[in-house]
Amino acid sequence: MQRTIQRQRAEAFHRLHAGDGMLVLVNAWDAASARLFEQAGSPAIATTSAGMAWSLGYSDGEQVSAHELVEACARICRVVTAPVSVDIERGYGRTPAEVSATVRALLELGVVGINIEDGLTPDTKELAPPSVLTEKISAIRALAEEAGAPLFINARTDAYFAPANDPGARYEDTVRRAQMYVAAGADGIFVPGLESPEEMARLAQAVERPLNIYAGYAGLPPVAELRRAGVRRVSLGCGPFQAALSLARRIATETLNEGTYAAMTTDMLSAGEANSLFSKA
């Protein structure tokens, strides 16, 4: 992609987080879902790492290779004109240099944003030390500046997914980590698992970067309430793909057990509508 176009899209993506606005992202898992969400009016396309893994035949958690990730993102970038942000989990690499290689490949596709997380260690379920992510963020920021790309780095902390006996200490750890990630070069902070509007409001005040909340399951306040709490970005994550899989299972169960097709035909796209998704590709 031409650097001028990439820069314009990156600047537009940054503006979507600015002021009192609210960016709502219905996360995509492949080219078809990306085009569908863009056609529905989404001003940007963000990927879901879990949904992308499932669509490629893997479980969640960096089971997909970096090569397969980049290939899947290339197909998305080919069919959309909206800014694209990619969830790279821990970066598909153990070292900052390895993570930078993943990001460099995405930048070459025209990607303008990433999500990168600290995460829980698989064996102990404890949060990784924040220094691990700060080093990766610093390396990514240096790479983006060298490439002349204003990449939006959304730093995710899984503090609210870690076992905690003291909710207050969990909140304080989130603030501490978020401030460290911002100092390293993060443009936004993503805190999945945070559900209390009161804590959202406190966190939005404590961290001078746009706050991103995960709303991929039942029980979260509506977008308007999240906005009043100071949230500036809402991600549905793998929720839309989970819902799509549930519908596919209902279609299969009905047809195989009852011999009828209502679950499939009630609200399906026509072949023409599906083809029209890719008329610009």
Contacts of 30 (CB under 8 A, 6+ apart): 52, 55, 72, 75, 76
CA 207 – CA 228 distance, rounded (Å): 16
Residue 112 lies in a domain: yes
Question: Dihedrals φ, ψ of 86, to 5°?
Answer: -120, 135
pLDDT of residue 280: 62
Residue 252 lies in a domain: no
CA 248 – CA 260 distance, rounded (Å): 14
Residue 270 lies in a domain: no
Residue 276 lies in a domain: no
What is the Cβ-side half-sphere exposure of residue 91, based on CA atoms within 13 angstroms? 27
Residue 207 lies in a domain: yes
pLDDT of residue 3: 85
* Residue 181 lies in domain: 3-240
Instruction: Please identify which residue in the block is written with the tokens 């939005």.
Output: 204
C-alpha distance from residue 168 to each of 11, 115, 154, 165, 176 (Å): 36, 26, 24, 9, 12
Residue 124 lies in a domain: yes
Count of structural domains, the chain: 1
We report the CATH number of the domain holding residue 95 as: 3.20.20.60
Going residue by residue through the chain (281 aa), what tens digit of pLDDT does each one get? 688 999 999 999 999 999 888 999 999 999 999 999 999 999 999 999 999 999 999 999 999 999 999 999 999 999 999 999 999 999 999 999 999 999 999 999 999 999 999 998 877 778 999 999 999 999 999 999 999 999 999 999 999 998 877 888 999 999 999 999 999 999 999 999 999 999 999 999 999 999 999 999 999 999 999 999 999 999 999 999 999 999 999 999 999 999 999 999 999 999 999 999 998 65
CA 103 – CA 56 distance, rounded (Å): 20
Residue 254 lies in a domain: no
The full DSSP string for the chain is: --HHHHHHHHHHHHHTTSTT--EEE--BSSHHHHHHHHHTT-SSEEB-HHHHHHHTT--TTT-S-HHHHHHHHHHHHHH--S-EEEE-TT-SSSSHHHHHHHHHHHHHHT--EEEEE--B-TTT-PBPPHHHHHHHHHHHHHHHHHHT---EEEEE--TTTS--S-HHHHHHHHHHHHHHHHHHT-SEEE-TT---HHHHHHHHHHSSS-EEEE--STTPPPHHHHHHTTEEEEE-TTHHHHHHHHHHHHHHHHHHHH---HHHHSSPPPHHHHHHTTTT-
CA 13 – CA 45 distance, rounded (Å): 10
- State pLDDT tens for residues 205-235: 999 999 999 999 999 999 999 999 999 999 9
Residue 261 lies in a domain: no
